[in-house]
Structure 1
Amino acid sequence: MENNELLDTLARACDNKRAEGIIAMDMRNVSLIADYFLICHGSNERQVQAIARSVKETAEENGIDVKRMEGFDQARWILLDVGDVVCHIFHKDERSYYNLEKLWGDAPHVELKIDVEAE
């Protein structure tokens, strides 16, 4: 699966659990951490965990290995390493505090096709 397809698929998984503020950032020319960041937030811990579960299950259903998941128990900032894509799922309070969009402001945003059904 190409990275842009993976981004859209994971973004839909977030959207299916009513994640808010879903954005993708192209990190290829900015960082060695990953090619893309997918960032979103939920309004409470239970929703943040549901979004993370949805991303993990969707990746695995598509044959993509989730290399690591951190922060699930606290559900304030869950990080999923999905190879070339790192998914950051925040509690809404933590997202504004850490403000990754500003921290990595040099990274261009990637247009997501969230409303398009998977083909």
Structure 2
Amino acid sequence: MTASPRAVELALEAAQAAADKLARDIVVLDVSERLAITDCFVVASADTERQVKAVVDGVEEQLRRLGAKPLRREGEREGRWVLLDFSDVVVHVQHGEERTYYALERLWKDCPQIAFTDRDLSRTVEAVAPGAGRR
């Protein structure tokens, strides 16, 4: 069983919303074969607690436009790891230190990744090759 088309659509929109708020290291995982409670995880990093909150707000706003409301929102007070549960999609926005420590991608390494490309290619190019073309 693979993630539903709706779950993939929401996960990719969540990933784009996170990218629009300058989240880093965005990964979309199809966890549908391992978990019965959700189809996709979106994992993103932010450098500060304020940015974590901005990313979370951006994701929630974008998915609401698509008719998805979060069932739960956890960890917002601390701003270090916020979880948004949209049922078919669970979004994890983590401060860089938490991302490194908990390494969700390693825990779910057997799950296939869903390809995500930032629509703003200038951010993608900079993320892949910082300083490219500079002398």
TM-score normalised according to structure 2 size: 0.81
Alignment of 1:26-65 (within 5 A): 26-65=30-69
Residue 40 of structure 1 aligns to a residue whose secondary structure is strand
Identify which of 10, 14, 17 aligns with 1:10: 14
> Runs in 1 of length 4+ with deviation above 6 angstroms?
none
RCO comparison, higher one (Cα < 8 Å, 6+): 1
User: Considering only aligned residues, what root-mean-square deviation do their CA atoms show, in Å?
Assistant: 1.4
Structure 2: which 5+ runs fail to align?
121-135
Query: Which protein shows a greater Rg?
Result: 2
C-alpha deviation, 1:32, in angstroms: 2.2
Aligned residues with identical type, % of pairs:
36
Structure 1: which 5+ runs fail to align?
none
Instruction: Provide the rounded CA distance (Å) in 2 between the counterparts of 1:82 and 1:113.
Output: 22
Q: How many residues align?
A: 116
Task: State whether residues 32 and 40 of structure 2, in contact with CA within 8 Å, keep that contact through their aligned partners in structure 1.
Answer: yes
C-alpha deviation, 1:33, in angstroms: 3.4
TM-score normalised according to structure 1 size: 0.91
Structure with greater strand percent: 1
